[in-house]
Amino acid sequence: MNKPKIIILRGNSGSGKSTVAKAMQEEIGHGTLLISQDDVRREMLRVRSGEHSQSVELMKHLVSFGYNHCSVTILDGILSTVSYAELF
């Protein structure tokens, strides 16, 4: 098995990160985990973004899972340095 890869797409709201991330997942195919900050925060946890948000902890677990079980993990979101520093 090839060494797992983590691809991080960060940028402003509406800049096309999620569109690019979904296209990359489709292109790479099987074994690709896509983690969207918006999905984790808004859909899964229903929490606000922020320094002490539960989403940071869950995203750390999801990225770790992807690294250990998938060939490629794609993480997309605004992912501000202040709020998500511990994720990186």
Domain limits, the chain: 5-87
Q: Global pTM? A: 0.90
Whether the CB-CB separation of 33 and 82 falls below 8 Å is answered with no
CATH superfamily of 5-87: P-loop containing nucleotide triphosphate hydrolases (3.40.50.300)
Q: What is the pLDDT of residue 53?
A: 74
| pLDDT tens digit sequence for 53-74 | 788 899 999 999 999 999 999 9
CB 71 within 8 A of CB 4: yes
